[in-house]
Amino acid sequence: MFCLTDHERKVLILLFVVLILGSAVKYFNLYRARVEDNIAPHTVKLININTASDAELAKLPGIGPASAKRIIDYRTNVLHFYSADDLKRVKGVSQSVVDRVKPKIKFED
């Protein structure tokens, strides 16, 4: 039917493979965007900083086991937290840590 040289066949196969790979990447990105859109912000469980255990606190970004223990000691011995900025009073908790945990914490039930 078609008389193609060896080189022309290789070029056509390469173009076909590139087309298939491009389509696969496009549909993968569309699928990933749909999955991310289905995760609503209200489904994220906020951690109450005044009642959380040390294990729960240690799950927060920038808060390790030692910082979690210091947070619990502070709220037990000094006072409860009323804002994210109150966390800066705890030794080892910097402003950058406060900024990272702020969207993941709450202060009342």
Tell me the pLDDT tens digit for each residue of 16-62: 999 999 888 888 887 777 766 565 555 568 899 999 998 999 989 89
Q: Which residue in 71, 66, 70, 65 sits closest to 48, CA to CA?
A: 71
Q: How far apart are CA 85 and CA 30, in angstroms?
A: 39
Query: Is the model's pLDDT at 109 over the cut of 70?
Result: no
Q: How far apart are CA 67 and CA 71, in angstroms?
A: 6
pLDDT of residue 65: 92
Whether the Cβ atoms of residue 63 and residue 55 lie closer than 8 Å to each other: no
Q: What is the pTM of this model?
A: 0.58
In the block, residue with structure tokens 């040390």: 54
CB within 8 Å of 91: residues ≥ 6 apart: 70
